[in-house]
Amino acid sequence: MVNRRLLTVIAVVLVIAGIFAMSALFIVDQTELALVLRFGEVRGVIPNPGLKMKWPFIENVIFYENRLLDFEPPPEEVIVSDQKRLVVDTYTRYRITNPLLFYQTVNSEVAVRARLSAMVNGSLRRVLGNVTLSALLSHERAAIMHQIRDEVSAQGKSFGIDVIDVRIRRADLPEENSQAIFARMVSERQQQAAQYRAEGAEAAQTVRANADRERTVILAEAQRDAQRVRGDGDAESIRVYADAFGQDKEFFAFYRSMQAYRDALNGRSTSFVLTPDTGFFRFFENLDGTPTKPAPPAATSGAR
């Protein structure tokens, strides 16, 4: 009976000791920072990982991330120095370096995000208000982001954080401005296209007119040459005919008559109305082509 009571007491003591041990011991991960609080008052900062102890039930532990944290504020509309409105989208990377100061100023990551949003927004407006759109879209963009980061980092030290980087992911015109610029670009391109078409039509008309003029000149020169060649040929033909006619006039007359017969009697229903004494068919009457002498008129009787 005594042994049973002793075992019960030992078990109860072990349970109570286990509860006290569980309440007194805690583990700090290598990705975390810890604050030990006693009745809400900070009693210690634990920056190193490992198994740690605290007073059970009267102390509690708050853990903060030791790794890089990302924060993406909503896009902000800002006005640059050349009075252009831009919608700027940024993201921020920071790390909690002083957990005690962080706890005393903002206490939680939700609260520090609101502070970061205000700091980034204010620095963004100050810096971009002194630069132009062309500078923001050029190689100067890196220097602009470094300037914003330096300002936000200097302000963030008062909250126990170290701002590692502030980046501008996107800087675009507002939607209504983009539509207006797009419409203006379309109009300008249409004007350029119309100008190019007009210049092309003018050049085509010039080329066509030059080609027509050259064609007219070439045809005129060709006709002139053809007339000259044809005249030379006709002259040579006349000369040859004249030489041939001079050598044998009778044969030439016979040959020309045969050609005339062939051309005139080519049709099947050709009709001729000729006088009896015409010389066209003289070779039908005599082979030498001499005309037949008409018969003398009959003598009439004298008057009674």
For residues 71 and 283, the model is more confident at 71
Question: Residue 260: CB partners within 8 Å, gap ≥ 6?
Answer: 280
What confidence tier does 300 reach under pLDDT thresholds 50, 70, 90? very low
Mean per-residue pLDDT over the chain, rounded: 81
Assigned token pair, 293: 């002498």
What confidence tier does 51 reach under pLDDT thresholds 50, 70, 90? confident
What percentage of the chain carries pLDDT values higher than 70?
80
Largest CA distance in the chain: 216
What percentage of the chain carries pLDDT values higher than 90?
24
pLDDT at residue 198 in the model = 92
pLDDT at residue 301 in the model = 41
Assigned token pair, 157: 């030290």
- Does residue 93 register a pLDDT over 90? yes
Question: Residue 11: CB partners within 8 Å, gap ≥ 6?
Answer: none
Q: Could you read off the pLDDT of 11-27 as tens digits, one per residue?
A: 777 766 666 666 677 88
Choose among 155, 61, 47, 166: nearest CA to 98: 47
- Does residue 162 register a pLDDT over 90? yes
Does pTM top 0.75 for this prediction? no
Taking residues 207-236, report their average pLDDT: 90
